[in-house]
């Protein structure tokens, strides 16, 4: 048994908070009690139980990230499922959903089985998507029902948009039938000369054309229409432009089942970061303007954007040392997500800590139907214990990769313990 004493519990599920003792037995939470209860006193007297003193710390549900790239199979020199999971644990995550731009892709049962089996060895809950199209080529739909049977929790061709509108419509009809969400990387390649950098003043300074906001906006517009017509549930991943936020806000008012996801980098940085960090600030879709960053924060605040996802995208040092147009897009994010949320969203007064935590726990869990994201008796013993205000320095990563502009920064939100299924999987 594991007993967590005197922590300040924030349950994103019930929105109840207060100082509590929590007992986990056999992977499940068996007791949530006010401090000083007889039951917990008895358990404490039994010297065999493991005890964590969480006085002065916050205890909440293990974090959920519905958008990670663990590069396994296919590019394990960047990351593998084990090292990706280590980064997740260090960041307080106990549940992740892998994206499917692996090699082979997540378009077949064997690859899903490989990923899920390996995920079971990590100590956290590793889920996977299934691809929408075979080989992510945007030409032929995968067998969704088979992939669901194999464990796919959502569908996506993340990394690529589904450019064929008719195919997208058919994908939506199928996803409807199986009640699964299609998660969309919204960037029309026809608009993009150089991906990963916003088409604006910074791109101009670098002598490149970059990726214009319209590349995202046209796809968001189209897919909202298709979702509206078909009744499908879609998620706009890693939203980057103010207009996209507004389109989703309006669509929600009409009852369209469109969800949205923001990354920590899109609510923290702007295109200016490229001048300071070079390829470490190159990602798809790119960092844009301060007005976009503010629109994303407003979207988080008013509920237009339900979830925060890292889009943890490891690359090797060699790859990121290439020229700006040749280096791959993407940055890692699992280890700094909670800290950046605290610094940029909570400490700047945009949202409460509970509000932030909901976007990193119960909201993605509900949208994708995952057993995660809340702290309740009988529920999973998945928790993170952290100090909101204590500073820590991100001096080295436990991921295989170090492609993040935040390396070296001192941030609030020091994580003390990550607990999954009642086991301590990370300890500061
Ligand atoms: Zn993407």
Q: What is the mean pLDDT of residues 249-264?
A: 98
| pLDDT at position 417 | 98
| Catalytic residue list | 311
Instruction: Give Cβ neighbours of residue 73 (< 8 Å, ≥ 6 apart).
Output: 102, 103, 104, 111, 114, 115
182: which strand partners? 155, 234
pLDDT at 281 over 90: yes
The length of the chain, given as a count of residues: 428
How far is the centre of ligand 1, averaged over its atoms, from the C-alpha of 109 (Å)? 22
How far is the centre of ligand 1, averaged over its atoms, from the C-alpha of 238 (Å)? 7
pLDDT category of residue 21 using cuts at 50, 70 and 90: very high
pLDDT at 251 over 90: yes
DSSP state for residue 49 in the 8-state scheme: S
Interval 133-148: pLDDT, tens: 999 999 999 999 999 9
Choosing among 3.40.30.10, 3.40.50.150, 3.40.50.300, 3.20.20.140, the CATH entry for 62-368 is: 3.20.20.140
Q: Is 183 exposed, middle or buried (0-12, 13-18, 19+ CB in 10 A)?
A: buried
Interval 334-384: pLDDT, tens: 999 999 999 999 999 999 999 999 999 999 999 999 999 999 999 999 999
Asked if the domains at 2-59+378-427 and 62-368 fall in one CATH topology, the answer is no
Where do the domains of the chain lie?
A: 2-59+378-427, 62-368
**Whole-number mean pLDDT of the chain?**
97
Interval 131-184: pLDDT, tens: 999 999 999 999 999 999 999 999 999 999 999 999 999 999 999 999 999 999
Looking at the domain 2-59+378-427, which fold is it?
Answer: Urease, subunit C; domain 1 (2.30.40)
pLDDT at 47 over 90: no
Residues bordering ligand 1, an ion, CB closer than 5 Å: 158, 185
| Cα angle 224-260-296, degrees, rounded to a multiple of 5 | 115
CA separation for the pair 105, 130 (Å, rounded): 9
**Least confident span in 46-55, 115-124, 229-238:** 46-55
How far is the centre of ligand 1, averaged over its atoms, from the C-alpha of 425 (Å)? 28
Q: Is 88 exposed, middle or buried (0-12, 13-18, 19+ CB in 10 A)?
A: buried
pLDDT category of residue 56 using cuts at 50, 70 and 90: very high
| pLDDT at position 18 | 98
Asked if 376 contacts 60 with a C-beta cutoff of 8 angstroms, the reply is: no
Q: What is the mean pLDDT of residues 183-196?
A: 96
């Amino acid at each position: 048994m594991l007993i967590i004493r005197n922590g300040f519990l924030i349950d994103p599920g019930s929105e109840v908070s207060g100082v509590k003792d929590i007992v986990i037995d056999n992977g499940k939470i068996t007791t949530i009690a006010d401090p000083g209860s007889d039951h917990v006193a008895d358990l404490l007297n039994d010297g065999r139980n493991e005890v964590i003193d969480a006085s002065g710390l916050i205890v909440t549900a293990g974090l959920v990230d519905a958008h990670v790239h663990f590069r396994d199979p296919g590019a394990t020199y960047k990351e593998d499922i084990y090292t990706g999971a280590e980064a997740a644990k260090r960041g307080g995550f106990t549940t992740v959903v892998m994206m499917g731009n692996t090699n082979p892709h997540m378009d077949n049962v064997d690859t899903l089985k490989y990923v899920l089996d390996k995920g079971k060895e990590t100590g956290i809950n590793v889920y996977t998507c299934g691809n929408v199209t075979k080989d992510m080529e945007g030409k032929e739909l995968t067998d969704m029902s088979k992939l669901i049977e194999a464990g796919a929790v959502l569908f996506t061709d993340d990394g690529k948009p589904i450019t064929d509108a008719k195919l997208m419509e058919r994908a939506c009809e199928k996803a409807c039938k199986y009640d699964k969400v299609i998660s969309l990387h919204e960037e029309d390649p026809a608009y993009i000369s150089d991906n990963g950098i916003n088409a604006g003043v910074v791109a101009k300074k670098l002598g490149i054309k970059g990726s214009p906001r319209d590349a995202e906006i046209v796809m968001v517009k189209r897919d909202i229409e298709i979702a509206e017509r078909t009744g499908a549930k879609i998620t706009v991943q890693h939203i980057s432009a103010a207009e996209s936020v507004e389109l989703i806000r309006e669509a929600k008012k009409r009852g369209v089942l469109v969800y949205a996801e923001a990354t920590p980098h899109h609510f923290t940085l702007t295109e200016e970061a490229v001048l300071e960090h070079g390829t470490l600030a190159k990602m798809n879709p790119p960092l844009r303007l301060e007005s976009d960053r503010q629109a994303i924060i407003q979207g988080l605040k008013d509920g237009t954007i339900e979830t925060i996802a890292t889009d943890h995208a490891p690359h090797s040092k060699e790859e990121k040392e290439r020229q700006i147009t040749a280096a791959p897009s993407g940055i890692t994010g699992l280890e700094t997500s909670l800290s950046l949320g605290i610094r940029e969203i909570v400490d700047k007064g945009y949202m409460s800590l509970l509000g932030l935590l909901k976007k990193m726990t119960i909201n993605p869990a509900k949208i994708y139907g995952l057993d995660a994201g809340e702290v309740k008796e009988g529920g999973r013993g998945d928790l993170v214990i952290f100090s909101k205000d204590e500073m820590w320095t991100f001096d080295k990563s436990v991921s295989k990769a170090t492609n993040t502009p935040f390396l070296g920064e001192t941030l609030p939100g020091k994580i003390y313990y990550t607990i999954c299924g009642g086991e301590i999987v990370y300890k500061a």
